[in-house]
Each structure stands twice: as structure tokens, then as C-alpha cells.
Amino acid sequence: MIAYVPKWIMKTSSWNSAFFNKPTNQMRSHLKPLFIKAEVNEDFKVNKVLIDGGAVVNLMPESFLLKIDKSEKDLMDHNIVITDFNGNSAKSMGIIVVKLKVGSVTRSTVFIVVPSKANYNLLLGREWIHTVGAIPSTVHQAMVLWREDDYVEYIDVDDTTFKVAGIGVLNSDKMLEKMGPCNVETFEQWKECCGDKVKITLCPRNGFEVNEALNTSQDGQEVAHHA
């Protein structure tokens, strides 16, 4: 058995399997997405590459397209419809194919270019994840590649995006390292005490918090209930 895959390339056992270790308490106490580093078109190094198993296709913001000296005239038409969480269609500019290198694996990869201000440089969806045999774990903040030669390769994560000094709405996503999952037990205790006068809020600095619900007064101001 191969337990937590170390930071090098290793041959798999006769079981042809690789495993992650049981998550530690520290691993369970964050809500970070999984970012890695990559290389585009053989010479452009890129960080903040988001691994997103919830996306089917790969996405590239228009801002990154310009960084690799490409423009809208380099894009191809497509018939792919992108939808958001509400099922609404999202605008896309076209398709571009680039050589993407992750670890030692290089693949010509199709990206849909979108005119959005994203918190990533590239997004790799299941089209890339499944094709290259990647096994990501947001809990472990790690990813392994299952290569064609039966070697398992550990891919370094990119945690630089979480190293910030300030805090605010615009960079609250960078504080996910310090945000843990919601404490349901605390919520149940508050609810038992206060009934429906309870709400859960997400604070950029402190994560999930359980508070007394607020009423709205006649002048539109929020007034706290008192248990």
C-alpha cells in the first residue's frame, strides 16, 4: 500500500493503487480550494491554477489570455453552453488550445475563455482531471498524477494565494485557510436555547458564526433579539 504520496515520483505497487492518509485535525480545519502551479506553452509559468472537480470544462479568464500574448482573434468558435450555479447561461468568448504542463505531464488542453474577473489564472475541470488521471484532495491540499508509465507523481500545491496581511470582502477568499467547517453542534445548542431566533453567518475573519437572529424595525434598522 502507498500511503500519503511524498514529494517525489514513485513506482506503484503490484496492487496498482495509491492512497491518501486519514485526514488530521489540521486538515479538517480549513476550507481552502486546491491551487497548483503549471506551465503554459513551454515557457510561461503560472500559479493559482484551480482544480475544480465540479466543472466539466477548463476555463481561462480573458486577463490571462492577454498575459500569454494571445487575443480574441486567436480564439475558435464552439457550441458549448456554460451555466452558473443558478442554471443561467454565462457568456464565453471562444476556445483556445495551449500546451499545459503539470509536473512532468504535458498535454494539449482546451480552454474556454471567459470575460470574468476570477480568483484564479486557470481552472482545470474534469476534462483535464480525468484525462491525465489526476487524483486531487482539497482536504489534504495535495494532488497526484497517475502517469502512463505506472508511476505516481506528487504535484506541489500553490499556497501563496493565502498569504495576505489584510482582510476584506475582496480578498476574503484568501482567508479560507483559517476558516473551518460550520460547527453544527454549536448551532443546535443555540437553537435549543433561542428557538428560531438563531442565524448562521460567514465572517471573512472568523469563519462560520452562530448568532442571535435580528429583527428589522420600522425604520429599517436591524434589532437583536434577546433570549
Q: Cα torsion for 178, 59, 108, 127, to the nearest 10°?
A: 80
CATH top class, domain 9-166: mainly beta
CB contact at 8 A, 48 and 173: no
Q: What is the mean pLDDT of the chain?
A: 75
What does the pLDDT read at residue 217? 42
**Residue 28 CA, distance from chain mean position:** 16
Q: Give Cα separations from 119 to 32, 54, 74, 165 (angstroms).
A: 13, 16, 23, 17
Query: Of 207 and 167, which is predicted with more confidence?
Result: 207
What does the pLDDT read at residue 38? 96
- Residue pLDDT, tens place only, 48-103: 999 999 999 999 999 999 999 999 999 988 887 787 777 778 788 999 999 999 99
Lowest mean pLDDT among 55-69, 178-192, 210-224: 210-224
What does the pLDDT read at residue 103? 93
Q: Taking the domains of the chain in order of start, what are their residue ranges? A: 9-166, 184-224
